[in-house]
């Protein structure tokens, strides 16, 4: 049951109307109407169209455009909404519309509508609001006239009697009641039929004072009230009279009151029907004994002298037949909750002693101060206002700033008022310029002042010069006063000296009704004013608004004006484009309109949600990014600039296709002769082959039943099974078709007789991406009860992992898509010819165990189980086949790069490009949207640079920065492999990007793939000589292990093989198969383990001699992070130390360790192919022996070493060579410009002047290194200017790290880089509450279990399992010396915070001296320590009372 009257009215408004128009309140307030509508839309059978319009928009035009049998308008009564309604009431009043207006404690605004609408009802209780809402709906529908229903929103809805939904529509559609209502008691309000109180007429005719229109409206009200009475069994009275039957005083009330009515000589009449208000009805309630009338109305802000009800009563009394004089007074009805009989008597006494003063009964609620009334500015708008403040600083003037309300009133924030202010300011400045020129004419001023004034006049619009010269003029006039009136005026109006950047910021509502809005006036004014219009409508809600209001079309309207600068921007899409647009708008001499996209439903929306909505809107073309500068036309330049990469790429592809087509229609096609020379023979051969294949297929399928195989697969496992099943079906003579689930519709499915479905499970029991649309349609049809698949026979094989969601309450997620598919198909009438098959990854052979039981049943049901298959089944193509057949990593990459019909490469080439440092990806934020549009995914590529040791020069940094802008997404990533990574590179930009990388002597070869990848080393800013030695060692190892294929230079750098390809490639280390899996090398320098050396396949731990020189390295092998959820054959492992080598031996040791892995690694199962599994399978001693055998000598004994941390050393450090280094914090390694954090620009400016180097850290941060003393101040200044020297972060944030994950990583199951900062915000508050602000706690997050951010050695880690769902791990070593362990298999954010809050508090109170958080969780009994990788799963889920489910078990016991 609803708690107040507002949801009660919202329910009736929804259930009675065909169209509901909801006027939204001012942000951040959420519409309570909308909340109720959202609930009703899922629970009610009635489905009206709901249209939401933003605050400030004109609701009248929407109501007029959306007329229906009955339209409900709902809003909270405010002056801005109601004054806009008044303009349209002439049209609205003749339409079947009910305007439900919620008031708080004042009827001043809503009574503005009373005289302009046929009917006006007022409800003061929740029950009355419910009943009057029904009455209003009936009245509006029958009479086709508007009804205003005002009600008090906060009236409690206790003991409410609501009409069931099924009775409402019949009530509205019932026939008109044939009889007029008749009196039932002394308080009814029908027109009198006898001479009661001397005011009626015996013949039953109405008094002559009532006009016929008013009589007709009143009778219509009475008829509707009688119909409503028959439904509700409760009377609905327009007037309620209580108190003395022969009073001397009658008190009329209009508003919410609770008065004692048993006072002698006083009658109380409360008004429910405020219009129509026939005079005869008012007189009917004034007995002849009355000598005084008091009219009390709840109007606290009524600015006219006479209130509306008072005027009506006065008019009625003019026609009273009695000759007795009556005194009538008006008053204010306040809060009467504490009014008693003495207060009423005191009111009457005051009316006698002060007949001319306005009376007051009750307390008037306190009105807020001007400061309290400051409009709320939504926090998300700061994304744009901060940029304005950053760009224009002191020049910025927001002409409708909320802070003006305190001095100029509420109207100050309206754009129309602001436009007037701007016009006044510009006129005043023009007058000021005349004053300056007047002073210039004075021959007595000195030359210096004359020069300053003259220069200012010439540069008055210059951003910098006007301010500088202005300060100089003021100083000159104050130091040497000039005896001239203009001098004093200049000093008084000195604010006009600098050139201002004037902005009006408005919501998108200002662009409605363009021809008559303030925006139109601003555009037509020609003033030098900038207008920023914010559009907050999320892309996913775009279909829920009035289609006549495409707000971003205001840009087209402004461009058509011809002399207006127009830009469309989105800060969460392109920050640089926003900066450029705002700068150009400010520079433009004339009106500028900047449309800014900021999609959010409420202030609770996270930045991540806004980012996703923005990407959908921009990439789909819904919100194009562009700039229109008409001033460019005057200099012969193109005025329009399209800045949307997605739109530009689509346009480019379209033009490319058009060019291909134009080649074909030319009379002399310009094609290579070799392309057409043998065309005839080729076509003949192809036709012959096709005919043979068709004939063979015909023979084999004459008697075979057709079979359709539909699959849904994300990772490819279900797809492989489906394709294998297809081959086996064809071998048995079945006519087989295979396709993805989403490529078929429910409508086309009945065309096939036998259908087999194979689906895997994604996320939290969700269907894979290419099956979701089909499943949604299937669920909808099942809910409707359709039986549209009766002709189909089907079987389903489902693939999942029974341990993926181990909690009992999550067990239903196991194979949920397949189970749902099976049950829904049966519900739709399909016949199951083989029972549901279930494949479980936990079985001995994984999903094959269940599949081997299911497939024979399939052949038997189809009658082909006896068919003997003699052909050998083709071996599935694996990565090993692709590598071997690639021609040393060539494949068909070069040909694929020339194919612009798709943004992707062939799947096999996608595997090979990894060896070239390239991953094919697509934007997963918009994958579903593009699929719905029928276009391929938004393919792009990630490029990773090979940069051993993570050191780059300033010119290389500048090139990386430029590449990100010209070829990538405008940002780049510092990875945990100490290098650069670019995202969003489209196919046509791949080759130019890689050529640009090579141009500065860097490359991407072997940055990914089954080879040795980027060799990383400690950054150690203080030990300059030692860093130089380990850095050179890292480069030496990298160069020694790099692949020798020339394919990279051929494909990307256009370096062809010589001698007609007579010389063939040879890989001395890798061979044609390369390695079974990737191979990672790290070099650490104790005591800092910033590279997590034990997490690598091969680790070198530097050992320094007593003389400070590098003595050699301890060698560790077998580390690795990758895991597969639920697969206990996979686990993380820390490297084991096997001995010592000298620096000279290091590269050969690396080679031999790698060769043993090459020869003994698992090439059958890539999930068990890393070196860590080879070490555990062979045994550490055996592996070491193989290495030493290849070396020809034993490794030396392990040397002592100590680590104490793996975080970066932030701040300033001075090396042993006297050079300076600064380690700056880059959260999660993302180098970008954002509001208040122009880090990308700052680092670019540093690179332009820096003479040293940059070092990238394995924790994703940056060192500005090797700064000489003479350059120190300049670098410090730039760091300070761009806030890069800010290290005032919590220890938790400084120690956090995340991989990229969504939207680009194809393996991601959950958010990581975009979400971890949000989670850290919440966890660090817990740390600060417990005094741990500066304590370092290693927290890491990855979007999948592959471990790119090295989560398994963190003290707290979160590994993505599904969107918003993570495995939580605890107990890692602070310096990477111990693996953590799964504490909870599946947690969401609320659960994370609930777990960490008491745990962190206990750590703060009970930790030992110097004890780290990971160590504490073990000592305190939360988690067991992990002693080795193979035992990682043992004791997972917590210990003792902290074990998962222990609380529930204890409670049950």
Q: Cα–Cα distance between 593 and 419 in angstroms, integer?
A: 13
In sequence order, what are the beta bridge partners of 530? 503, 592
Is there a contact between 11 and 132 (Cβ–Cβ < 8 Å)?
A: no
In sequence order, what are the beta bridge partners of 72? 20, 98
Angle at the Cα of 665 from the Cα atoms of 663 and 667, rounded to 5 degrees: 95
1254-1264 burial, b if ≥16 CB within 10 A, otherwise e?
A: bbbbbbbbbbb
Catalytic choice (1348, 1361, 1381, 1412)? 1348
Catalytic choice (944, 1184, 1237, 1255)? 944
Q: Strands of 640-642's sheet, edge to edge?
A: 396-398, 501-507, 530-535, 592-597, 565-570, 626-628, 640-642
Backbone phi and psi for residue 954, each to the nearest 5 degrees, phi listed first: -55, -40
The answer to whether the Cα torsion of 940, 1361, 1260, 1082 is positive or negative is negative
In the DSSP assignment, the letter for residue 1178 is H
DSSP-assigned letters across all residues of 936-980: ---EEEEEE-B-GGGEE-HHHHHHHHHHHHHTSSS-EEE-TTSSE
Q: Cα–Cα distance between 1250 and 954 in angstroms, integer?
A: 6
Tokens of 739: 């396709």
- Annotated active-site residue 944? The verdict is yes
Q: Cα–Cα distance between 77 and 112 in angstroms, integer?
A: 11
**Residue 491 CB contacts under 8 Å (≥ 6 apart), including other chains:** 474, 477, 478
Catalytic choice (1305, 1327, 1361, 1384)? 1305
Catalytic choice (1078, 1219, 1314, 1350)? 1078
Tokens of 1387: 């947690």
- Annotated active-site residue 234? The verdict is no
Q: What are the contacts of 887-894 at 24+ separation with CB within 8 A?
A: 887/1047, 887/1065, 888/1045, 888/1046, 888/1047, 888/1065, 888/1067, 888/1072, 889/915, 889/916, 889/1043, 889/1045, 889/1047, 889/1048, 890/1045, 890/1047, 890/1050, 890/1051, 893/1047, 893/1051, 894/1050, 894/1051
Q: Cα–Cα distance between 563 and 566 in angstroms, integer?
A: 10
DSSP-assigned letters across all residues of 1352-1416: GGSSEEEEEEETTEEEEEE---TTS-S--EEEEEEE-HHHHHHHHHHHHHHHHHHPPTT--HHHH
Catalytic choice (551, 1299, 1361, 1384)? 1299
Separation of first and last alpha carbons in the chain: 37
Cα 1450 off chain centre by: 41
- Annotated active-site residue 1017? The verdict is no
1313-1324 burial, b if ≥16 CB within 10 A, otherwise e?
A: bbbbbebbeebb
Catalytic choice (551, 1219, 1344, 1350)? 1344
Q: Cα–Cα distance between 1243 and 1361 in angstroms, integer?
A: 36
DSSP-assigned letters across all residues of 577-619: HHHHHHHHHHHSSS-EEEEEE---SSTT--HHHHHHHHHHHHH
DSSP-assigned letters across all residues of 1102-1116: EEE-TTSSEEEEEEE
Give the Cβ contact number of residue 1334 at 10 Å.
Answer: 12
Q: Cα–Cα distance between 729 and 1302 in angstroms, integer?
A: 38
**933 membership: H or E segment, kind and range:** helix 927-933
Give the residue among 250, 344, 331 at the shortest CA–CA distance from 298.
331
Q: Is the peptide bond before 1267 cis (omega within 30 degrees of 0)?
A: no
- Annotated active-site residue 1141? The verdict is no
**352 membership: H or E segment, kind and range:** helix 341-353
Q: Cα–Cα distance between 64 and 79 in angstroms, integer?
A: 20
3 state DSSP class of 371: coil
Question: Which residues are marked as active site?
Answer: 944, 1013, 1078, 1080, 1299, 1305, 1344, 1348
């Amino acid at each position: 049951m609803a708690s107040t009257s507002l949801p009660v009215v919202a329910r009736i408004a929804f259930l009675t109307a065909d169209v509901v128009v909801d006027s939204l309140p001012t942000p951040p307030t959420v519409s309570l109407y909308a909340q109720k509508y959202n609930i009703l839309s899922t629970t009610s059978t009635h489905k009206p169209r709901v249209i939401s319009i933003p605050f400030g928009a004109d609701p009248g035009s929407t109501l007029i455009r959306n007329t229906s049998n009955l339209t409900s308008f709902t809003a909270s009564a405010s002056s801005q909404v109601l004054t806009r309604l008044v303009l349209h009431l002439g049209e609205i009043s003749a339409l079947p519309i009910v305007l439900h207006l919620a008031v708080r404690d004042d009827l001043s605004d809503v009574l503005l509508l009373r005289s302009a609408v046929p009917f006006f009802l007022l409800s003061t209780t929740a029950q009355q609001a419910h009943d009057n809402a029904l009455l209003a709906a009936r009245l509006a529908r029958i009479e086709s006239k508007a009804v205003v229903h005002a009600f008090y929103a906060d009236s409690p809805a206790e003991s409410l009697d609501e009409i069931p939904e099924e009775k409402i529509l019949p009530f509205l559609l019932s026939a008109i009641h044939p009889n007029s209502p008749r009196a039932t008691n002394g308080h009814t309000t029908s027109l009198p039929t006898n001479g009661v109180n001397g005011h009626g007429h015996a013949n039953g005719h109405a008094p002559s004072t009532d006009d016929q229109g008013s009589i007709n409206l009143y009778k219509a009200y009475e008829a509707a009230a009688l119909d409503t009475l028959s439904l509700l069994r409760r009377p609905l009275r327009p007037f309620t009279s209580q108190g003395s039957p022969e009073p001397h005083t009658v008190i009329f009330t209009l508003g919410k009151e609770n008065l004692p009515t048993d006072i002698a000589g006083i009658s109380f009449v409360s008004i429910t029907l405020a219009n129509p208000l026939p005079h005869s009805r008012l007189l009917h309630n004034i007995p002849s004994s009355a000598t005084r009338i008091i009219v009390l109305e709840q109007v606290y802000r009524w600015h006219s002298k006479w209130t509306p009800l008072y005027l009506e009563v006065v008019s009625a009394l003019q026609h009273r037949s009695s000759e007795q004089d009556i005194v009538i007074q008006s008053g204010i009805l306040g809060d009467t909750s504490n009014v008693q009989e003495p207060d009423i008597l005191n009111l009457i006494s005051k009316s006698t002693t002060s007949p001319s003063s306005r009376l007051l009964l009750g307390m008037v609620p306190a009105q807020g101060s001007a400061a309290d009334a400051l409009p709320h500015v939504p926090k998300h708008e700061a994304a744009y206002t901060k940029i304005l403040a950053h760009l224009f600083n002191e020049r910025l003037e927001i002409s409708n700033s909320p802070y003006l309300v305190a001095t100029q009133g509420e109207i100050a924030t309206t754009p129309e008022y602001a436009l007037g202010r701007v016009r006044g300011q510009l006129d005043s400045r023009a007058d000021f310029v005349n004053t300056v020129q007047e002073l210039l004419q004075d021959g007595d001023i000195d030359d210096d002042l004359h020069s300053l004034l003259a220069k200012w006049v010439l540069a008055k619009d210059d951003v910098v010069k006007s301010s500088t010269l202005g300060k100089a003029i003021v100083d000159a006039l104050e130091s040497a006063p000039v005896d001239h009136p203009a001098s004093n005026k200049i000093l008084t109006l000195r604010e006009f000296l600098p050139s201002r950047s004037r902005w009006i910021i408005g919501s998108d509502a200002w662009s409605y009704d363009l021809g008559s809005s303030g925006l139109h006036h601003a555009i037509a004014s020609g003033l030098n004013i900038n207008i920023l219009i914010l559009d907050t409508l999320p892309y996913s809600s775009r279909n829920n608004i009035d289609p006549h209001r495409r707000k971003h079309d205001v840009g087209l309207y402004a461009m058509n004006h011809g002399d207006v600068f127009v830009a469309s921007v989105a800060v969460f899409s392109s920050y640089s484009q926003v900066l450029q647009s705002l700068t150009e708008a400010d520079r433009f001499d004339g009106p500028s309109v900047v449309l800014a996209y900021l999609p959010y439903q409420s202030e609770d929306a996270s930045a991540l949600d806004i980012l996703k909505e923005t990407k959908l809107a921009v990439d789909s073309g819904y919100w194009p990014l562009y700039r229109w500068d008409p001033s460019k036309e005057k200099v012969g330049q193109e005025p329009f600039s399209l800045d949307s990469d997605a739109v530009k790429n689509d346009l480019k592809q379209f033009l490319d296709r058009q060019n291909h087509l134009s080649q074909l229609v030319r009379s002399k096609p310009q094609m290579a002769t070799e392309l057409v020379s043998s065309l005839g023979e080729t076509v003949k051969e192809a036709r012959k082959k096709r005919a043979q294949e068709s004939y063979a297929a015909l023979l084999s399928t004459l008697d075979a039943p057709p079979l359709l195989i539909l699959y849904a697969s994300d990772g490819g496992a279900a797809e492989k099974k489906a394709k294998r099943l297809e081959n086996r079906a064809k071998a048995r003579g079945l006519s087989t078709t295979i396709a993805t689930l989403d490529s078929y519709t429910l409508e086309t499915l009945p065309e096939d007789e036998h259908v087999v479905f194979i689906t895997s499970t994604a996320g939290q029991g969700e269907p894979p991406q290419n099956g979701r649309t089909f499943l949604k349609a299937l669920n909808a049809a099942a809910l409707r009860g359709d039986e549209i698949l009766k002709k189909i026979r089907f079987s389903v094989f489902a693939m999942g992992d029974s341990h993926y969601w181990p909690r009992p309450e999550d067990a239903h997620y196991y194979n949920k898509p397949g189970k749902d598919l099976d049950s829904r198909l049966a519900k739709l009438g399909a016949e199951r010819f083989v029972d549901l098959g279930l494949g479980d990854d936990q079985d001995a052979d994984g999903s094959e165990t269940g599949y081997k039981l299911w497939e024979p049943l399939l052949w038997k049901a189809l009658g082909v189980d006896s068919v003997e298959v003699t052909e050998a089944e083709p071996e599935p193509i694996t990565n090993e086949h692709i590598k071997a057949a690639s021609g040393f990593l060539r494949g068909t990459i070069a040909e694929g790069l020339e194919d612009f019909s798709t943004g992707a490469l062939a799947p096999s080439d996608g595997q090979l490009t990894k060896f070239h440092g390239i991953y094919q990806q697509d934007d997963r934020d918009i994958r579903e949207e593009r699929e719905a549009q029928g276009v391929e995914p938004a393919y792009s590529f990630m490029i990773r640079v090979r940069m051993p040791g993570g050191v780059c020069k300033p010119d290389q940094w500048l090139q990386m920065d430029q590449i990100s802008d010209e070829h990538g997404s405008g940002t780049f990533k510092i990875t945990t492999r100490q290098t650069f990574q670019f995202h969003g590179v489209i196919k046509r930009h791949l080759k130019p990007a890689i050529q640009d990388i090579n141009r500065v002597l860097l490359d991407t070869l072997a940055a990914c793939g089954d080879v040795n990848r980027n060799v990383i080393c400690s950054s150690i800013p203080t030990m300059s000589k030692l860093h130089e030695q380990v850095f050179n060692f890292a480069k030496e190892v990298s160069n020694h292990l790099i692949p020798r294929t020339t394919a990279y230079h051929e494909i990307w750098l256009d370096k062809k093989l010589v001698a007609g390809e007579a010389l063939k490639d040879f890989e001395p280390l890798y061979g044609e198969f390369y390695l079974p899996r990737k191979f990672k090398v790290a070099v650490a320098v104790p005591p800092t383990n910033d590279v997590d050396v034990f997490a690598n396949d091969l680790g070198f731990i530097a050992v320094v001699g007593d003389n400070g020189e590098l003595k050699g390295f301890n060698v560790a092998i077998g580390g690795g992070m990758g895991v597969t959820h639920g697969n206990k054959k996979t686990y993380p492992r820390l490297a084991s130390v096997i001995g010592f080598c000298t620096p000279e031996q290091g590269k050969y040791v690396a080679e031999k360790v790698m060769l043993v892995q090459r020869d003994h690694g698992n090439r059958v199962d890539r999930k068990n192919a890393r070196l860590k599994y080879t070490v555990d399978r062979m045994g550490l001693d055996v592996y070491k022996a193989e290495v030493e055998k290849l070396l020809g000598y034993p490794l030396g004994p392990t040397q002592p070493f100590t680590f104490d941390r793996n975080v970066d050393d932030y701040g300033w450090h001075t090396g042993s060579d006297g050079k300076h280094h600064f380690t700056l914090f880059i959260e999660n390694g993302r180098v970008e410009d954002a509001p208040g954090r122009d880090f990308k620009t700052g680092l670019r400016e540093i690179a332009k002047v820096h003479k040293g180097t940059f070092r990238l850290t394995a924790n994703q941060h940056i060192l500005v290194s090797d700064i000489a003393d003479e350059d120190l101040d300049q670098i410090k200044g730039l760091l300070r200017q761009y806030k890069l020297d800010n290290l005032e972060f919590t220890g938790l944030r400084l120690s956090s790290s995340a991989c990229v994950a969504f939207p680009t990583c194809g393996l991601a199951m959950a958010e990581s880089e975009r979400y971890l900062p949000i989670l850290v915000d919440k966890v660090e508050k817990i740390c600060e509450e417990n005094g741990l602000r500066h304590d370092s706690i290693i927290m890491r997050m990855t979007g999948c279990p592959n471990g790119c951010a090295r989560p398994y050695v963190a003290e707290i880690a979160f590994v993505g399992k599904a969107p918003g769902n993570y495995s939580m791990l605890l107990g890692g070593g602070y310096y990477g010396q111990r693996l953590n362990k799964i504490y909870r298999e599946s947690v969401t954010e609320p659960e994370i915070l609930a777990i960490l809050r008491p745990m962190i508090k206990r750590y703060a109170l009970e930790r030992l001296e110097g004890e780290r958080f990971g160590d504490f969780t073990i000592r305190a009994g939360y988690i067991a320590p992990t002693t080795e990788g193979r035992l990682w799963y043992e004791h997972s889920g917590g210990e003792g009372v902290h074990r998962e489910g222990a609380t529930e078990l204890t409670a049950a016991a």
